[in-house]
A and B are shown apart, each in its own frame.
Chain A
Amino acid sequence: MLRSAISAALIGAAVGSVLAGGVLLAQAQTPAAAAAAVGIDNFTFNPQTVTVKAGTTVTWTNRDDIPHGLAATNNVFKRSQALDTDDSFAFTFTTPGTYQYFCYIHPHMTGTIVVEAATGSNTTP
């Protein structure tokens, strides 16, 4: 029950950011993707490095039979709840930069999100 509530919240967040991205797209008239997915399979983030435009929501989904948890090395996002099988966590990256993250349960699992300035639009607030 808790899990479905979380999923609903996450879907809500994802839909919200897709809408926000849509507005941005309309303004900037660029085909920049507003969403990216990272799978967690066999104790590996897949793909390990993802490059996105600022404003993109990245969603991680755990497909292992063991829980994983996400933590950002520089605390750009607060650590996620433990993700059981098929649970997801989403975060919208707004500021360009290189973000390292890892699984706080199995810290040998690491990944990187590279956030580039959204071209053609003024991303700095």
Chain B
Amino acid sequence: MSEFDRDDGMNRRKVLECMTWVGTGVLWTISGGVPHSLGIMGEAMAQEAKGLTFLQISDSHMGFDKPANPNARGTLEEAVGKIIALPQKPAFMIHTGDITHLSKVSEFDDADRIISQSKLDVHYVPGEHDFLDPDQKLYRDRYGRGTKGAGWYSFDANGVHFIGLVNVVDLKAGGLGNLGNEQLEWLEADVKDRSASTPIVVFAHIPLWTVYPEWGWGTQDGAQALTYLKKFGSVTVLNGHIHQVMQKVEGNVTFHTARSTAFPQPAPGAAPSPGPMKVEDDKLRTMLGTASITFKQNEKQLAIIDTPLKS
């Protein structure tokens, strides 16, 4: 297994090296042919009302209080406030992990209290910060019902098949994110009998594609997972973890990462480490935010709109 994965990973890496990070700092994205820009989220969503629109929120880091953002609770409240104010109610929300900063009960409680004010169903996957309690059970107790293994699952909505994966447990020395054989086998079986025309949305915390291995931004066996999705005409992979918007399209697969609501992180290689990035106070909210994803019947790619807390 590892031989094949590693080869594939290296190829992806080479491809990425040629990309020169065009996605870095992109404030909005067009896919699906409809141009959307920042700040007109409501209008854009009204146009798309016939499809399925859901939201992505990520990296809330409840409990974070360092200089990069001493009030991560406040910015999560702002983000949820904006969701509540949307003129068109999204179908549901996905949360791509790092709900908490240190997996404390009080942090999970705070996140729950704030996010539930959106009155939306929320489908969670964990980040590595959600498994830091000694028994690694708080996340599973809260969000693991009806899931397999460390918390992976799938569901269907409006004809779209959603797959929530866990790539933050049992990480190996020197490695990246990790899905593991048990989850890969489950994934293979989960999609095997589905028609190739079913739109697929995969969501997981750490990017499934190799963004920047020097900082651990990738998933060791992510390429293996993608081989099971090759037959599908439309695959959208939504991740968090890197606290910035980045997008790449490879064949039928669109990879996209969302902003955090807690603190920004530097562009790959732009700082000595991927640690929380301190920016000027009035700039912080332009680097935090959420994403809205719309699926339209008969369009291959989903339209993804990233909206910062402040434009």
**Quick check: B275 and A107 within 8 Å, CB to CB?**
no
**Quick check: A73 and B173 within 8 Å, CB to CB?**
yes
Smallest Cβ-Cβ distance to A72: which chain B residue: B173
**Quick check: B103 and A107 within 8 Å, CB to CB?**
no
**Quick check: B216 and A108 within 8 Å, CB to CB?**
yes
**Quick check: B275 and A104 within 8 Å, CB to CB?**
no
* Chain A residues bordering chain B, tally (CB within 8 A): 24
**Quick check: B274 and A43 within 8 Å, CB to CB?**
yes
B121 close to chain A: CB less than 8 A: no
Smallest Cβ-Cβ distance to A41: which chain B residue: B273
* CB under 8 Å from chain B, chain A span 56-76: 64-67, 69, 71, 73
B174 close to chain A: CB less than 8 A: yes
**Quick check: B275 and A42 within 8 Å, CB to CB?**
yes
Task: State which size class the interface on B falls in.
Answer: 20 to 34
Which of chain A's residues have a CB closer than 8 A to the CB of B66? Answer: 65, 85
Q: A43-B215, A82-B102, A84-B102 are in contact. Are A66 and B276 (CB under 8 A)?
A: yes
**Quick check: B273 and A44 within 8 Å, CB to CB?**
yes
In the bound complex, CA of A73 to CA of B102 (Å):
23
Smallest Cβ-Cβ distance to B215: which chain A residue: A108
A100 close to chain B: CB less than 8 A: yes
In the bound complex, CA of A105 to CA of B275 (Å):
13
In the bound complex, CA of A106 to CA of B215 (Å):
8
**Quick check: A65 and B68 within 8 Å, CB to CB?**
yes
**Quick check: A67 and B101 within 8 Å, CB to CB?**
yes
* CB under 8 Å from chain A, chain B span 115-139: 128-129, 132, 134
B272 close to chain A: CB less than 8 A: yes
B175 close to chain A: CB less than 8 A: yes
Jot down 12 A-B pairs with beta carbons below 8 A, ordered by A.
A43-B274, A64-B275, A65-B68, A65-B276, A81-B132, A101-B173, A104-B171, A105-B132, A107-B173, A107-B176, A108-B215, A108-B216
Known: A42-B272, A102-B173. 5 other contacts (CB 8 A): A65-B275, A104-B171, A105-B171, A110-B173, A110-B174
